[in-house]
Amino acid sequence: MYYLLIPVPIHLVLIAIYLVARNRNDLKKTAIVQPVATFVALLIAALSFFSPQADTSYTIWILVGMGLCFLADIFNIDMTNDKILYAAIGVFVIAYLEYAITFTRFNGFQQQDLLVAGIFILIYIFLMRLYWKGLGKFKIPILIYGLVIPFMVTRAISTLFGTTFSLLSAVLVTVGCTMLFLGDIEYGLHRFRQPLKFFIGPICYAGGQLLIALSCAYFLL
């Protein structure tokens, strides 16, 4: 099963290149590295079909969501372009809802979900207040997207309390989805609050997809 980890170092190198390209606003390099990193994550998830600890159905569901992210990554290069951002938000809403539905389909709902949901509703309110003055014409899209991604995180956290996911797989999706959320928070601050250097955003996005991909191989561990 260690062959599943062979592409991981390649992905880590791509993350480092991606971080540098984003901070230099090197759109040509970003246009290559960003989708390639997600494609490698897709490959890692697909390799789980050969793992005895994988669930084929779960892997397929993850591949669908990650495939949507890959499509968004192809055109979501210049994030200062409003038309591109609108399109990216639309595709990522669908992709992250697909992730959330996947976790719920296999894990169901747990008693702890209400407490977790309450915490993330407070986080959502805080972030919307933080971004509000700078949202402009993005108010409605961000209000929707801002609900979807924490919802995805709460569904990932729920897997820690269920019995379907192995502990390792549940930890991988929980940390992975949390990283996606943190990366989006940094971008939100950069775009709607005050321009800043990307410290964790590219790492969190590409790294989060990597962890979600790895969860496929250890689903039944």
DSSP 137: G
pLDDT at 159 over 80: yes
What pLDDT shows up at residue 108? 95
Supply angle C-alpha 108, 71, 6, rounded to 5: 75
As a whole number of angstroms, the distance between CA 76 and CA 78 comes to 6
pLDDT at 184 over 70: yes
As a whole number of angstroms, the distance between CA 184 and CA 196 comes to 13
What residues contact 142, with CB distance under 8 A and at least 6 apart?
A: 89, 128, 131, 135, 188, 192
Tens of pLDDT along 95-144? 999 999 999 999 999 999 999 999 999 999 999 999 999 999 999 999 99
As a whole number, mean pLDDT of residues 21-46 equals: 92
As a whole number of angstroms, the distance between CA 87 and CA 105 comes to 27
Which of 27-31, 171-175, 179-183 is the least confident region? Answer: 27-31
